[in-house]
Structure 1
Amino acid sequence: MRFTENEMTQAMAGAAKSVLATRKDVRKQKLDVDDVWEQMSRYERFQVLDALGDQVLPVLVALPDVEVEPGTRPTFTDEQVRETVEAGVGDVGRLQRAVLVRTRIALVNAALAAIPPRQDPDALIVPDHL
């Protein structure tokens, strides 16, 4: 199973929103992260997504292929995510490596949670006006 373009877009938006949720102003004012995301300019959203791209996308692409039943999301074990993240962390110090691995695992898990359930391609409903 490979992620579709829509799934990757949703995954990246989910990771970005998880980062926004950690901002002081969002937490302090108890703002809705989705509202904050929508109020951001396209350039501001691009900046957040660009900063996360190198952290999340290589891991999503490197995750093992899994079967995804219609109506479900792709699921991976904690071990699969951890191994994939660790494989992508370069040669850094032990402490920095530990921080990078934990942070990337959290980002990837947020990204995976944001992927919508897979639709059944055989149950595709075409509107009458088409």
Structure 2
Amino acid sequence: MDFLLGNPFSTPVGQRIEQATSGSLQSEDWALNMEICDIINETDEGPRDSVKAIKKRIIGNKNFREIMLALTVLEACVKNCGHRFHVLVASQEFVEGVLVCSILPKNNPPTALHDRVLSLIQVSCGHFT
């Protein structure tokens, strides 16, 4: 997936994902999450750019609050976006390389993060069963 290179927060959807996953937020911004879904559904580059930004927010991030907010964005997108988005997030590379890696014991994830990731894997991959 060469498209995962570069600054993922430089695109319109990437900028919104960065805002929606900011550790300074007091709670989820559902209006912003739905705006992200609209961009993904209405633009050709939306699915690819959003997956790139979500991956960047999750991988290597030690701020579990930001990771949880990124998972909320991901869940909103899985539930509200179309096939082009689902194909990317249900790929083995995304599931194993992003979601599973985020809950490896070496990262010492909290139980809530672990449970959330496993639930998301079930939901995102369930679209293809």
Of structures 1 and 2, the larger Rg is shown by 1
TM, length-normalised to structure 2: 0.32
The structure with the greater share of residues assigned to helix is 2
TM-score (norm 1): 0.32
